[in-house]
Amino acid sequence: MLAVVKSAPVDGPEGTSVSDCPVPKPGPDEVLIRVAAAAVCGTDKHIYHWDPSIRDKVTPPRIYGHEFCGFVEELGSRAQRTYEGHLEIGDYVSAEMHVVCGECPRCRSGNGHICDRTRIYGLHEDGAFAEFVKVPAANVVKLGRYVPLRVGAFLDALGNAVHATSVCDMAGKSVAITGFGPIGAMAAAIAEHSGATTVIVTDVSDHALETARRWAASHNFANLHAFNVRTMAAEEVKREVDAVTDGDGVDIVLEMSGAPSAINLALDIVRMGGMLSLLGLPAGHSVTINDYTRNVIFKGVTMQGIIGRRMYGTWQRMLALLKSGLNVEWIVQAAYDSLNDFHEGVARFDRHEALKVVFFPEGEKAANQRLK
């Protein structure tokens, strides 16, 4: 089978190959899935460029990819069931690619998403940028035909956005999103779909902000406000937010960038007693909080760190949102019919020309024929 492999511990095309690899053989508790569509994410980019932050997590050779959907091709002898029911050959599925131990105090208390023994497919195990991938049956999630392949390709990332937005009720609330990358864009779509009255977006890229404005216009959402924090001082952004919120501040801030300046802006613009949902990862791993006493303690804010997806409540919530009409297919801005185009796709993702880049190993038309 054709697969995208991190073949050597070096940056760029020299360290990544599109190679012929053996089709994996599922064990008794595993499922072999024919990959219909797979999406590039930030982690793939870090692996591609062999960033220092990823080197202790990946041992080449390793097949990339943890965002995908596909069709059950083969079942192990004990792999007839997933958490939600019976599995059959041909089922349309995705999978939770964080595999947890199931035994630690976090797992046993329903918090498997913070299991410290997590193994991630596409990092610790071979992933889904291939014609086939094998995963534990317990991690397989069955999908309805209401999930387009282009959306099924990035349910892992969408799940992050759903988790980040599910810690607070957004109906009738003002919501700010700091960082309009792929997950920030998904969060904006969820906020609008969930009944937020106002959505405020900040980013350092005019292109990202223009994408946000086009999205709002195409969905007839009039109450979007987009601010460039590269060209505007924090005090100026706060004045604009105060004008939008009648001086009260934002009810909910979804921090998606990891930039220390954005985290401090989030604390500055959130209202008294407001909510911060924090998903972005700071590059330097540490952040200095401006006026902690005023912005955190005296404001009485709630801050929630977000990692991964709750297993499997986030998946259930995400599929319910999609079934009710959540539209995120517009986030796919580049698609390829061959894994051989992986280098080009990553380059476009690198240049921020596409929020999401999706690959169809057997071609999009053929994959959609299987979906019918």
Helix 155-166 and helix 182-193, axial crossing angle in degrees, nearest 10? 50
Whether the CB-CB separation of 302 and 330 falls below 8 Å is answered with no
The active-site residue, picked from 46, 49, 124, 343, is 46
**Is residue 178 annotated as part of the catalytic site, yes or no?**
no
- What is the C-alpha to C-alpha distance for residues 287 and 259, in angstroms, rounded to an integer? 9
Is the separation of the CB atoms in 174 and 252 below 8 Å? Answer: yes
Q: Does residue 43 carry a catalytic annotation?
A: yes
Question: Rounded to whole angstroms, how far apart are CA atoms 145 and 178?
Answer: 33
Contact in structure between 140 and 89 (CB atoms under 8 Å)? no
Residues in the chain: 372
Contact assessment for residue 117 and residue 101, using Cβ atoms and an 8 Å cutoff: yes
Query: Please, what is the end-to-end C-alpha distance for the chain in angstroms?
Result: 24
The continuous run of DSSP H or E covering 201 comes out as strand 198-203
Instruction: Give the whole-angstrom CA distance, residue 23 versus residue 203.
Output: 42
3-class SS at 350? helix
- Alpha-carbon distance 347 to 364, whole Å? 21
Calculate ∠ Cα 277-283-285, nearest 5°.
75
* Eight-class DSSP state of 15: G
Which of 43, 202, 211, 245 is catalytic? The answer is: 43
Residues annotated as part of the active site: 43, 46
